[in-house]
Amino acid sequence: MEEGSRQSFQPTPEELAHRLVGYEAEGSRGPEALIAKAEKAFDRLHTTLSVFLGSKGFESLWARAMLLAQQTLQAEGLEEGTALFTSPERWADAAGTRDAAQAHIILHAQFASFLSLLFTFIGEEIGLRLIRPALPDIPPHEEDSPTEDARL
Amino acid sequence: MSKKQQVAIRLLSTGVPGLDEVLGGGLPEYSFNFIAGTPGAGKTTLIHQIMFTLATPKHPALYFTVMGEPPLKILRHQQQMDFFESSMVGDSIHFIDLSEIVLEQGLGAALARIVQQVEERNPALVIVDSFQAIVRAATLKDHELDLQSFIQRLAIHLTNWQATTFLVGEPLSNNAQNSPLRTVADSIIELSQNIHRNSVVRKLQVVKVRGQAPMPGLHTFRISGAGLQIFPRIPATATQKHRARPHNRMATGVAGLDDLIGGGFPGGDAVIVSGPTGAGKSLLATQFIAAGAAVGETGVIAVFEEHPEEYVRRASELGIDLAEMERQNMLKVIYIRPLDLSPDETLHEIQAAVALIGARRVVIDSMTGFELALAPTFREDFRESLYRMVVALTGTGVTVLLTMEIQQSYTDLRISAYLISFLADTIILLRYAEVAGELRRNLSVIKMRNSAHSKGFTLYEITAQGMVVRHTLEMQPGSGIGSSATRERSRQPIYPGLTEEETVLLQALIKLGKAPLEGLAQRVGLPDGPLLRTALDRLVSLSYAIRLHDEVGTLYQPMAQLME
């Protein structure tokens, strides 16, 4: 997308993923802090979107996104062991196989893949509106809902 | 209870064109409604259209999905519609999935979840889609809450919380299982789609609306990018009640024809012009529209057979500039030919065009094309459909001219293949006749309600200036039309020195006794212009008439006797 073409703040899935599992290299620290952050982000997304999608609907969408993420990571030469990262239950175990920087790449790709898939189905604008409760720091859209006068 | 003590029930406008009318004014606020329809009938689109019309941040809508269309797909598909506003999602409209709760925990838990969300978000609208899933869940498991209790508690709670509620599902069968909903629902709206040959016709029926008088019957509707549009099936009796007939005459624009019909078609009449191909039906219709435009009367031409551009081009060859009339908003030409129309949709199109320019004249060219444009299912009751359409139009004082093609038979004087003459106030039959060895066009006025008219067969010609009526034919005793024994009436002038037009004018003046110029103009169907004034000057100069001046203006009085 060309610079300046967005009328309001419309972060990309990658930018949103960065907000969810942002990582700053801090010396030789392991990936535990990152994993904890990712788990919280996952829980927030799950809680928020399950209202709309249902829990099973969310999990199904996540599973599909993980498959797509693995394909992306394979293209980047990181396919080995990435399957371990497909669900939060396995993240803690998987962390032992990667350093923090590699774990960040994988988790970032997974969250970006999930959001991208969500946006593919329902568009960026509605997708952002639905995940906003999970990401309260996203600036609101410029476009407001219709006024009261126009309706009931 | 006196009127003043009654609680006024506010009616909500649904935002669906035609639906409020069918419902009897709108949806009662806080009502508990059921929208039923077969898969693909359009119920999800309908409820979204209503929801996007009524929801606000302060009075939001809660949309509960229950094992029907997955919510992700609902949003994906519905956002293609024009009424869908993304900015309302998550703000004025909240989607909540209940599928797992219903499946795993039962109706009691689902009801508790609905109640919790309603109390938390204070919605003005609550939608449960699909209700059929609730019914199935109730039958599959031994829940602690049965279907009847679920519906009863849901209705009570949502009404008390001042929410207007919609359950969306498949049509209710007549089994006992569905009876609670039939009883509890304040309104039931049923959607259906019928496939007949290659056409699909969608219909909506308001089965019930508590406290209101909905329009009865099945109403056709169409789904486009704008959502649903209902075409209310207007009962003919309703429009007939309000029929207000103007008392004026509408000049036909065909030289000589107005003399045969007392000065023109009576305003508000339904006129059928019937004849074989090439007889000049469309031409007469076009001249009728042009004559109206010449005196400031706007018109609508509904073309069913040929493309409007071709229609306009043919008229221009006769010096009738329909395109210019359209540019000046004196005319609206509409082209309707999708082959899956309903009569009500057609009527809606025509009525919209009539309203747009305030038309006083409508041409439907032709009835044969109109019938073909209808979905096959409507052709079976074509007469009834046509009757409702004509009555609806003439009920507002519009004069409607319908053309109809027939096959000419020399032994059969049938004027239409549809036996629809009952709906016409005036019928003009165009035919070919053999006259002195030539095939000549002739017309006859078969019928004119409440008006005297010529009873003879009159020759007419199609000239470079359009249709022109010439002479009346005389029939030999025992001969039929088309016989070589038919001959033209003697051309011997009965008023020496006068042209045919001046003779017609004099005859009109003799019948009127004494008349102002305007009255004569109306009687003979000529505009008040130089032609008429010159003809009157001639009558005065040849002592066939005298000109009188009194306090009301100039009057003309005949000095000659009526001679046939």
For the residues of B495-525, what is the DSSP string, one character each?
STT--HHHHHHHHHHHHHSSEEHHHHHHHHT
Share of chain A above pLDDT 70, in %: 73
Q: B71 vs A129: CB contact, 8 Å cut-off?
A: no
- Tell whether B218 and B253 lie within a shared domain: no
Mean pLDDT of A103-124: 92
Query: If you measure CA to CA, which chain A residue comes closest to B53?
Result: A151
Nearest-10 crossing angle of helices A100-122, A124-131: 120
Instruction: Region of B250 please: left (phi>0), alpha (psi -120 to 50) or beta.
Output: beta
- Tell whether B25 and B79 lie within a shared domain: yes
Query: Is B12 touching A (CB cutoff 8 A)?
Result: yes
Query: Is B100 touching A (CB cutoff 8 A)?
Result: yes
User: Could you tell me the CA-to-CA distances from A66 to A35, A91, A115, B73, B158 in Å, in that order?
Assistant: 16, 13, 11, 20, 41
Residues of B in contact with A148 (CB under 8 A): 56-59
- Tell whether B161 and B65 lie within a shared domain: yes
> Would residue B469 count as lying in a domain?
no
- Tell whether B200 and B289 lie within a shared domain: no
- Tell whether B24 and B142 lie within a shared domain: yes
- Spans of all domains in chain A: 31-138
Examine residue B316 and say whether the peptide bond preceding it is cis (omega within 30 degrees of 0). Answer: no
DSSP string, B87-137: GGBTTTEEEEE-HHHHHHH-HHHHHHHHHHHHHHH--SEEEEE-HHHHHHH
Query: Is B97 touching A (CB cutoff 8 A)?
Result: yes
Q: Which of A143, A145, A147 to mutate to test the interface with B (most CBs of B within 10 A)?
A: A145
- Tell whether B307 and B400 lie within a shared domain: yes
Q: For B234-313, where are the E strands, in sequence order?
A: 249-250, 265-266, 270-275, 299-303
**Min Cα–Cα distance to chain B from A150, Å:** 8
Could you tell me which of B185, B195, B369, B205 has the C-alpha nearest to residue B277? Answer: B369
Residue A51 has pLDDT above 60, yes or no: yes
The one-digit pLDDT tens for each residue of chain B (564 residues) are: 555 677 888 999 999 999 999 999 999 999 999 999 988 899 999 999 999 999 999 999 999 999 878 889 999 999 999 999 999 999 999 999 998 888 888 888 889 999 999 999 999 999 999 887 777 777 766 555 678 888 888 999 898 899 999 999 988 776 655 677 888 899 999 999 987 777 788 999 999 999 889 999 899 999 999 999 999 887 655 544 455 566 688 999 998 899 888 889 989 999 999 998 889 999 999 999 999 999 999 999 999 878 889 999 989 988 899 999 999 999 999 987 666 677 888 888 898 999 999 999 999 998 888 888 777 777 777 777 788 888 888 888 899 999 988 876 655 555 555 656 677 889 999 988 877 777 788 898 988 876 777 777 888 888 877 888 876 665 544 444 444 445 555 444 567 777 777 887 888 888 888 888 888 877 776 677 777 888 888 888 888 899 988 887 889 998 866 554
> CATH number for the domain including B530?
1.10.10.10
Give the pLDDT of residue A9: 59
Q: For B49-92, where are the E strands, in sequence order?
A: 61-65
**Other C-beta atoms lying within 10 Å of the C-beta of residue B517:** 16
- Tell whether B50 and B194 lie within a shared domain: yes
Could you tell me which of B355, B376, B381, B351 has the C-alpha nearest to residue B364? Answer: B351
CA-atom Rg of chain B in angstroms: 32
Q: Of B201, B233, B265, which one is at a domain's C-terminal end?
A: B233
Q: B91 vs A125: CB contact, 8 Å cut-off?
A: no
CB B38 within 8 Å of CB B193: yes
Residue A149 has pLDDT above 50, yes or no: no
- Tell whether B411 and B319 lie within a shared domain: yes
Query: If you measure CA to CA, which chain B residue comes closest to A48?
Result: B96
**Min Cα–Cα distance to chain B from A120, Å:** 9
CA-atom Rg of chain A in angstroms: 17
> Would residue B534 count as lying in a domain?
yes
Query: If you measure CA to CA, which chain B residue comes closest to A128?
Result: B90
d(CA B562, CA B130): 80
> Would residue B161 count as lying in a domain?
yes
Q: B75 vs A55: CB contact, 8 Å cut-off?
A: no
Could you tell me which of B301, B308, B268 has the C-alpha nearest to residue B286? Answer: B301
Cross-chain CB nearest to B86 (options A55, A125, A147): A125
Cross-chain CB nearest to A152 (options B59, B91, B96): B59
Q: B88 vs A54: CB contact, 8 Å cut-off?
A: no
> Would residue B470 count as lying in a domain?
no
Q: Of B209, B233, B257, which one is at a domain's C-terminal end?
A: B233
Number of domains in chain B: 3
Q: A126 vs B79: CB contact, 8 Å cut-off?
A: yes
What does the block give as tokens for B455? 């009873």
SS3 B409: coil
> Would residue B296 count as lying in a domain?
yes
Query: Is B71 touching A (CB cutoff 8 A)?
Result: yes
Tell me if ipTM is over 0.90. Answer: no
CB B172 within 8 Å of CB B36: yes
> Would residue B422 count as lying in a domain?
yes
Residue with tokens 């486009």: B224
Q: Is B449 exposed, middle or buried (0-12, 13-18, 19+ CB in 10 A)?
A: exposed
Q: Provide the number of CB pairs (under 8 Å) joining chain A to chain B.
A: 86
**Min Cα–Cα distance to chain B from A25, Å:** 36
- Tell whether B269 and B410 lie within a shared domain: yes
- Tell whether B303 and B418 lie within a shared domain: yes
Query: If you measure CA to CA, which chain A residue comes closest to B59?
Result: A152
d(CA B501, CA B498): 8
CB B279 within 8 Å of CB B432: yes
Q: Where are the alpha helices (DSSP H) in B261-307?
A: 281-294
Q: Which of B78, B89, B117 to mutate to test the interface with A (most CBs of A within 10 A)?
A: B89
Residues of A in contact with B73 (CB under 8 A): 121
Give the pLDDT of residue B119: 92
> CATH number for the domain including B68?
3.40.50.300
Residues of A in contact with B96 (CB under 8 A): 51-52
Query: Is B309 touching A (CB cutoff 8 A)?
Result: no
Could you tell me which of B232, B212, B211 has the C-alpha nearest to residue B222? Answer: B232
- Tell whether B550 and B528 lie within a shared domain: yes
Q: B89 vs A126: CB contact, 8 Å cut-off?
A: yes
What does the block give as tokens for B243? 């029929």
d(CA B174, CA B232): 27
SS3 B248: coil
Residues of A in contact with B76 (CB under 8 A): 121-122
d(CA B520, CA B517): 5
Query: If you measure CA to CA, which chain A residue comes closest to B117?
Result: A51
Q: Of B233, B250, B273, which one is at a domain's C-terminal end?
A: B233
Instruction: Region of B84 please: left (phi>0), alpha (psi -120 to 50) or beta.
Output: beta
Query: Is B90 touching A (CB cutoff 8 A)?
Result: yes
Query: Is B72 touching A (CB cutoff 8 A)?
Result: yes
d(CA B11, CA A53): 33
CA B238, B242, B248 angle in degrees (round to 5)?
140
Mean pLDDT of A123-143: 79
Domain of B421 in residue numbering reads as: 241-432+445-453
d(CA B375, CA B385): 12
Q: A57 vs B85: CB contact, 8 Å cut-off?
A: no
**Min Cα–Cα distance to chain A from B77, Å:** 8
- Tell whether B416 and B394 lie within a shared domain: yes
What does the block give as tokens for B560? 């000659």
**Min Cα–Cα distance to chain B from A68, Å:** 18
Query: If you measure CA to CA, which chain B residue comes closest to A124?
Result: B86
Residues of B in contact with A141 (CB under 8 A): 87
Give the pLDDT of residue B177: 59
d(CA A54, CA A40): 19
For residue B375, the surrounding DSSP H or E stretch is: none
d(CA B536, CA B506): 8
For residue B206, the surrounding DSSP H or E stretch is: strand B199-209
CB B443 within 8 Å of CB B428: yes
What does the block give as tokens for B162? 């001042």
